[in-house]
A = this chain, B = another copy of it.
Amino acid sequence: MMNDTPVKKTLGRVVKSTEMPELSKPFSPMQLAKAITAKRTGMKLTLVDVSQALAISKPTLIKIEKGDVTVQLHNVLKVMEYLGLSFSLVSDDIAHSNEEVSDEQWY
């Protein structure tokens, strides 16, 4: 199954651009990792590009893109912001569903 698409690079070079994972699926460190790699390659940036721009070492960046969670939240957030990725918080509220729908009258 062909999962990668070649994309033109700045200097006229072609690089494998890894595919963006399904953002709708439940969050996992690997999903995050893949999204980061996909974004970076899609933006035609090398590990060194990002590494230099954010003052993060290449090995650390690689850890992040491998889904290693033993990294500082700080570093992950820096990378995400730089690449235009963000989180959204999801709470397992176990449905307040019906009772106490609101203080407001809605009908």
Cβ of A94 under 8 Å from chain B:
yes
Cβ of A7 under 8 Å from chain B:
no
State which size class the interface on A falls in: 20 to 34
A interface, over-half SS: mixed
Cβ of A15 under 8 Å from chain B:
no
A residues in contact (CB < 8 Å) with B = 20, 23, 26-27, 29, 31-32, 35, 39, 69-74, 76-77, 84-94
- Known contacts A69-B72, A72-B69; decide if A85 and B89 are in contact (CB<8 Å): yes
* B87–A88 touching, CB < 8 Å: yes
CA distance A84 to B89 in the complex (A): 11
Q: Which residues of B contact A39 (CB under 8 A)?
A: 91
List the B residue with the shortest CB-CB distance to A86: B90
